[in-house]
């Protein structure tokens, strides 16, 4: 459940066709099927506006169509008990594997409020009316410290407004408010890995007068939701299989489907380009505002890298000298391509990408061309799906032992593809050490397909 916030600029049906605006909040509710999702699991939502259509119904009514992608990820954090040893039978054979895991140390999310006073630059006229405002959060870096995650970033506020003296005088102002916030995660320590998520939940602007009675002060109230997760690399040696050459044992194994954090990357993409009016369009007198919508079309995972391909949809609003059409706009799409290094990333791994326009600079080159410099903030996070069958319980079956009387004295076994010395020893109720010694195998972990293995009846339990 949420809202699409629409900020619409339009040329008013008055003398001189002055630029005006209206803000609309459209509610939406969308169900997303996620098999396995349960109440109290942790959800992460990312929305991306892909396309907006706006059309006139009549002079007082507009129709708007918004196409938006909604990405939802649901996570369940749980403790997984791993078997590290098996005891009780004197001849029990145990197969262990070393595994490296990124253990989840802790997670927390909170709500942070900001009250900031913004002052117009001295050369800018006082505010008559704000026509449009864009508020955004730009995360610069995050790092774990003792018991917390430190997040450094900027709150960006851009406004397009009409001056208070000349009604048609349009001005554009940018403000940046640096911030440092701390998310409490009691188990956090230095040198651990962390991931953060942030969303600007509210942004309200109120114009006030300064000491001279001029409307040059903006009071901004913003609410930022932030969460942080902490990971630590850990190595564990776990039991993946066991058997007894002389006793029947009952092994209980379960298949686990796990997602493990692989890595993240945060970087900037600088897009520099020019956009031009089309033949016959009114010439540019003054650039008032440029709206930028970054769209990621494709994400490709390579070895240790992520490739992003997309486009930046730029819409420039400008004043023209043509009295019949004083306000005009240009829309163009600029492609971009960007590589991000994430060690451990591999083809087909799930990858979450967020892309935002962190900074937009524009200038008029001549009456037909506008130069743009857009800084995109790009964040990528790679996960790995693990399907692993883990042993949960093993018990000896009382009263039943293996009958060696019916087994042949000598067996010659030809190694098949996928065989290991462990699987052969388990199948023929002997041990890896016995087979290696009898067949002069120096490296028990490496047996080649087609190799012949001799198995003697009298060494099955030696």
Residue bearing tokens 């949420």? 2
What is the Cβ-side half-sphere exposure of residue 270, based on CA atoms within 13 angstroms? 3
Q: Calculate mean pLDDT across residues 13-29.
A: 87
Residue-wise pLDDT tens digits, 284-299 = 999 999 999 999 999 9
Closest CA to 45 of 59, 56, 34: 34
Per-residue pLDDT, 167: 57
CA–CA dist 274, 44 (Å, integer) = 37
Q: Which of 243-252, 308-317, 346-355, 416-425 has the lowest mean pLDDT?
A: 243-252
Q: Calculate mean pLDDT across residues 408-415.
A: 89
Q: Calculate mean pLDDT across residues 67-91.
A: 84
Q: Which of 98-112, 211-225, 393-407, 414-428 has the lowest mean pLDDT?
A: 393-407
Q: Which of 85-99, 400-414, 426-440 has the lowest mean pLDDT?
A: 400-414
Per-residue pLDDT, 11: 86
pLDDT at 233 over 90: no
CB 318 within 8 A of CB 285: yes
CA–CA dist 462, 434 (Å, integer) = 7
The whole-model pTM stands at 0.77
Residue-wise pLDDT tens digits, 85-126 = 888 888 889 998 887 777 888 999 999 999 999 999 998 999
pLDDT at 13 over 70: yes
Summary mean pLDDT of the chain:
89
CA–CA dist 339, 195 (Å, integer) = 20
Numbers of helices and strands, H then E, in the chain: 2, 18
CB 352 within 8 A of CB 259: no
């Amino acid at each position: 459940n949420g809202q699409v916030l629409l900020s619409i600029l339009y040329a008013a049906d008055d003398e001189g066709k002055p630029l005006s605006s209206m803000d609309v909040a459209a509610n939406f509710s969308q169900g997303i099927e996620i098999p396995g999702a349960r109440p109290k699991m942790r959800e992460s939502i990312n929305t991306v506006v892909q396309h907006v259509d706006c059309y006139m119904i009549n002079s007082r009514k507009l129709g708007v169509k918004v196409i938006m992608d909604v990405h939802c990820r649901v996570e369940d954090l749980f403790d997984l008990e791993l078997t590290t040893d098996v005891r009780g039978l004197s001849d029990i054979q145990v197969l262990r594997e070393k595994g490296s895991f990124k253990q989840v140390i802790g997670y927390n999310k909170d709500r942070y409020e900001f009250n900031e006073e913004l002052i117009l630059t001295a050369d800018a006229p006082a505010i008559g009316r704000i026509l449009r405002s864009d508020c955004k959060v730009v995360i610069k870096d995050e790092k774990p410290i003792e018991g917390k995650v430190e997040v450094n970033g900027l709150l960006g506020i851009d406004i397009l407004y009409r001056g208070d003296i000349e009604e048609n005088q349009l001005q554009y102002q940018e403000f940046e408010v640096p911030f440092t916030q701390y998310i409490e995660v009691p188990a956090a320590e230095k040198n651990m890995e962390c991931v953060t998520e942030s969303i600007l939940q509210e942004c309200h602007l109120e114009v006030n007068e300064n000491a001279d009675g001029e409307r040059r002060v903006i009071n901004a109230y913003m609410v930022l939701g932030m969460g942080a997760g902490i990971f630590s690399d850990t190595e564990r040696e776990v039991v993946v299989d066991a058997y007894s050459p002389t006793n029947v044992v009952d092994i209980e194994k379960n298949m686990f489907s796990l997602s493990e954090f692989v890595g993240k990357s945060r970087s900037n993409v600088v897009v520099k380009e020019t956009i031009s009016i089309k033949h016959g369009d009114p010439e540019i007198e003054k650039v008032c505002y440029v709206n930028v919508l970054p769209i990621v079309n494709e994400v490709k995972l390579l070895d240790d890298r992520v490739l992003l391909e997309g486009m930046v949809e730029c819409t420039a609003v400008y004043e023209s000298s043509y009295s019949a059409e004083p306000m005009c706009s240009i829309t163009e799409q600029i492609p971009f391509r960007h590589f991000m290094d994430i060690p451990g990333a591999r083809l087909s791994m799930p990858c979450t990408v967020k892309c935002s326009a962190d900074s937009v600079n524009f200038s008029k080159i001549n009456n037909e061309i506008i130069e743009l410099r857009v800084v995109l903030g790009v964040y990528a996070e790679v996960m790995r799906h693990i399907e692993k069958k883990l042993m949960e319980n093993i018990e000896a079956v009382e009263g039943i032992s293996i009958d060696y009387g019916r087994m042949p004295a000598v067996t010659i076994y030809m190694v098949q593809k996928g065989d290991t010395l462990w699987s052969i020893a388990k199948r023929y109720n002997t041990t890896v050490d016995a087979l290696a010694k009898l067949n002069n195998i120096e490296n028990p972990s490496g047996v080649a397909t087609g190799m012949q293995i001799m198995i003697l009846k009298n060494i099955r339990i030696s």
